Structure formats: C-alpha cells, structure tokens
Amino acid sequence: MRSDTRHVHQPADEADDFESLAPPVHHASTVVFDSIEAFERRHERIYDGYSYGLYGTPTTRALERQIAALEGAPRALVTPSGQSAIALACLACAAEGDRILMPESMYGPARLMAEGLLRPLGIAITSYDPMLGGAIAPLIDERTRLVWVESPGSATFEVQDVPAIVGVAHAAGALVAADNTWATPILFNPLARGADLSVQSLSKYASGHSDLIMGSVAVRDETLFRRLKDVSRLLGLGVGADDAFLCARGLKTLPLRLRHSERGALRIVDRLLMQPSVRRILHPARPEHPGHSVWKRDFNGSAGVFSVVLRPVERAALDRAFKGLRLFKIGASWGGAHSLIAPSDPRKSRTDLAWLPDGQLIRFSIGLEDIDDLIADLERFFAELAPAADRIAIGAAGVAG
C-alpha cells in the first residue's frame, strides 16, 4: 500500500474488547456490502437493516428504538425537525381529496405547512376549536383521514380531551395524530390514550440543550410505520449521527430536567398570580384554565412552558422590561437549560379566543437555573410594568415553595 492509499484505508477497528457507557457514533453516507447480491438486494433492508446512510445508521436506529420504548410503541422514526415530523405524518396519512382536521391551537409553523403545502396538494384542511372534545364528531366526514391534536396547544395551552376525540375519530374511520412536544411521553402518553401517531419535536425537552433540531413519529401499526418510512425515504429525510448521539444523551437526563422545570414553573406561577400587571396565567395546572380537569385526569404533571396575559401596557414599558432581564433570554423554541421568554400574538391566526382576556401574551420556558434567581429576574421585569403604587415584590408574595 502506498502513502495515498494508506491515508484512505485506516487500520481495522479493534474495538471488540472495548465497552463504555456511551454509544458509538456511526457516520455514514455509503454503506458497503460484501457481495454484489447483497448490494442488489439492499432495498429490502430499508425498514430494519442498513442500506444507505440517509435511511438509518446504528446510531439513528438506536435512538429510534429508545424513543419507541419511551412512547410504548413498537416503532418510531426520527426526522430532521419537529416540523418535518408533522409534515411527514400528514403526507403519510392523507392524499388528494382527503381531509385533515387541525386544532386552532396547533403549532403555528405547522398550520402554515398545512396551508402552503397540503392544501395545494388537494388535501382539505379544517380548523376546529381545541375545546370541542367529542363534539368534533360532526366535522369528521367520510373524506377525513386524520384528526390532529396538540395538547396543550401552542401559546395558549388549552388541554384537549384526546380520549374523546380518539373515540369519535376511530368510529368514523379516521386516524388521530398527537403533537406531544410539551408533555413528552413522561407526562402524557398519546398512544396509550388511543392515538395512532405520537409526534414530538425532539429539539425541545428531549434533546434539552437548545443545540439541535430533530423530530420523531411513533406508531403502533407496522403498515403505518412502513408508509411513514417510505414517504420519509422519498422525501430524503435523514438525521445526522452527531445530532442523534446528542439527542440520545439528552434523553438520559430528561426526567430530571422536566421535573425541575415543572417545579420552577409552578413556583413562578404562584408568584405571578400576585402581580397586578398579570391578567391571566395560561397554565394547565390553573383551575380556571380551559381543559384543567382533563389535564388532571390524563396527565402525570406539567412541563415548564406556560404563558401569561398582561394587563394593557405601553410598548415602551414592555420593551424596557424585556431589556432589563438578565437570566431569561428572548427567543423561540424552549425546553433547554436556559430559561426563555417571548411575546406571542395568537389572535392574528385564531378565531376561537373569546375566552382569552385582552393584553399582551408572553410565553415562558423555565430552564435549569436556580428558581430563586429566576424569580429575582422576573421581579425586575414586573417592576418595569407595574405603576409604582401597585408594585408588589414578587419574591415576597405568594406561597413559599
């Protein structure tokens, strides 16, 4: 072997007697075969074996098996984003002439996908009030292939009666897909509640460090899994080995991170209740929140993401309040170690918000910082919003916890 060849052909892997607690990271575009017959039959390996890096490596398959186990599903598939997981689920279940029902509280970019991609393909999209529960039945016609649920909903956090929706959807021959990004299977298990597809953005809690984008779809049915895999292959959706490794690493600490965020969010909510500038807290654990009783019935707890509606406030004061924050960062996405805050305007895209009081909506994601430090940061925030006479030290207010 000459030098150029030696640069290319590395020594054989001698890892046979090496074991560690970190899974190996397999990078691949090309997968090699030991015979032309094996090469020619490589497409038979699409669902389980290995044929090409895009269709799976031991690293991505291991992550898929772990997600399937957490979802209580025989099968799961990872995708390059939560957004692509939603698009994939829709495209695998519906074709021209079919209908998909989507809640008004659905993740905004997914609604845009439905309008900009699915509708031009001839798939009818019907919006529904997320609080309908079983009363969704009259909207399900013979063309309806899929009923989408997202519980709690993005920005406004209405909790949907998923078992009731599953009941009427299945009776009418439609499938149910659940975007379970907020709860993760730890707090709510869509497949155990009858849904056919459980979708997550792994970019949020699962990976947990605000440093990667990935999604997943888990299903019970093998035929549906193969359809999803076929569509994923046709679209060329694949996930890189390093991101798959990082996501698998994130999953190890997910239960601890989620519990910390839950506790922190509940403590902060207790204090925000006393703030004169807060008009409403949109958190499923609040008794007045839409779907609170369903949340108590169906969920094992709450995540650290919630919203508040402020009393009317001048834009300049709002601007100052956001700028004064030191720990909370202004940004989209959530579920990472850093606490985030972002304004949101759900009224721009929704018609079912008569229950929601007027005022600026702000979404919080509680991260892994010390909760007292976060409370001190919010004290600065609300000091900018409240007229001096109304100010209450939020560190001193509310119940201790």
Ligand X SMILES: *Cc1c(COP(=O)(O)O)cnc(C)c1O
Residues that bind ligand X (CB under 6 A): 81-83, 107, 150, 154, 179, 181, 201, 203-204, 213, 215, 333
Q: What is the nearest approach in angstroms of ligand X to the Cβ of residue 323? A: 25
Nearer Cβ to ligand X (177/224): 177
Nearer Cβ to ligand X (72/108): 108
Q: What is the nearest approach in angstroms of ligand X to the Cβ of residue 8? A: 36
Q: What is the nearest approach in angstroms of ligand X to the Cβ of residue 103? A: 11
Cis peptide upstream of residue 74 (ω within 30 degrees of 0): no
Nearer Cβ to ligand X (277/365): 365
Nearer Cβ to ligand X (202/278): 202
Nearer Cβ to ligand X (126/344): 344
Q: What is the nearest approach in angstroms of ligand X to the Cβ of residue 81? A: 3
**163-196: b (≥16 Cβ within 10 Å) or e:** bbbbbbbbeeebbbbbbbbbbbbbbbbbbebbbb
Residue 255 to residue 301: CA distance in whole angstroms: 12
User: Which residues, 6+ apart, have CB-to-CB distance to 302 below 8 Å?
Assistant: 187, 262, 265, 266, 283, 284, 285, 295
Q: Please say whether the beta carbons of 179 and 84 come within 8 A.
A: no
Q: What is the nearest approach in angstroms of ligand X to the Cβ of residue 110? A: 6
Tokens of 310: 């402020």
Nearer Cβ to ligand X (154/156): 154
Q: What is the nearest approach in angstroms of ligand X to the Cβ of residue 93? A: 17
Three-state helix/strand/coil letters over 208-263 = CCCCCCCEEEEECCHHHHHHHHHHHHHHCCCCCHHHHHHHHHHHHHHHHHHHHHHH
Alpha helices per DSSP H over 123-239: 162-171, 184-187, 222-235
Taking alpha carbons only, the member of 73, 91, 90 closest to residue 193 is 73
Q: What is the nearest approach in angstroms of ligand X to the Cβ of residue 5? A: 42
Nearer Cβ to ligand X (256/332): 332
Please identify the residue of the shown chain whose CB is closest to the bound ligand X: 82
Residue 163 to residue 215: CA distance in whole angstroms: 24
